[in-house]
Amino acid sequence: MRTLWCGVCAAALATLVVAAQSPGPTDQDRAAVRQAAYDYGEGFYEGAAERMERGVHPAIIKRGVLSRPGFGPILAPMNAETLVELTRQGGAKNTPPDKRNISFDLLDIRDNVASAKIFTAAFNDYLHLVKQEGRWRIAHVLWQPPSPNGVANKETDKTAVAQVLRDVLDAIRTGDAARVERLVHPEAALRTFRVSPPTGKFFLIEGNRDAILAAVRAKTPPLPETPIVTVLDVYDNIASALMTTSAGMSYWHLARQNDQWRVVNRLTR
């Protein structure tokens, strides 16, 4: 049993960066990612449940950074079933088309994973998407409502986000579990998108902060060289980033709560 547990710990660290051989995305892939994002965003405004269901992965993990009077900022969850049902009930259908302000941007794309954003009058969302059996769908969402004081791509925010990701890897490398706890949200979704050798099909492997902490405390061998961190986009209290090493790549979402940026989502390929 101890051997098995050590193997699990090692895997938890190894999935931070995974080797990726890929032929590269096509124009059809880019168009399909855009369509999935619009099925999600535009579908909600149209009250089109079938579009929402088509655009999101059944195992989607969606969280919003929200503030309520008398409370600090919270991380509010929502699953695929709720998204589809709220859309079926009308979504934001009462918003006139000329007031929806829907915009899309493809932040990065690989052969079967992508990072994107879709911003609208009611919600600003960062997305992670995966391609399974030729179909692109949204696996992660981090969002917040548009803010009257929200600033996009502020240089001090981009610098802070990049530093958090470097610090996470450094904390793991040095075995500093307390620092990992500070920098990774307790509800973080740390997933890996990996191929199954027997079938050749890709699937999502679930992971969380506890698994990473267990690996750190088990003194699993350190990760490779210092990563290259690219902050893809920042808006107010949410951010999207890319990390690459010689071993592979991963997409990240971070949220700022009480002036602290922390990891909320990670998708490794």
Give the pLDDT confidence of 64-97 residue by residue, as tens digits: 999 877 777 889 999 999 999 999 999 999 999 9
Q: What is the mean pLDDT of residues 14-34?
A: 74
Fold of 150-268: Nuclear Transport Factor 2; Chain: A, (3.10.450)
179-201: pLDDT as tens digits:
999 999 999 999 999 999 989 89
User: What's the topology of domain 27-144?
Assistant: Nuclear Transport Factor 2; Chain: A, (3.10.450)
| Of residues 242 and 8, more confidently modeled | 242
Residue with tokens 């934001």: 92
Domain boundaries, the chain: 27-144, 150-268
* Topology match between the domains 27-144 and 150-268: yes
Give the predicted TM-score (pTM) of the model.
Answer: 0.91
Share of the chain above pLDDT 90, in %: 77
The whole-number pLDDT of residue 190 equals: 97
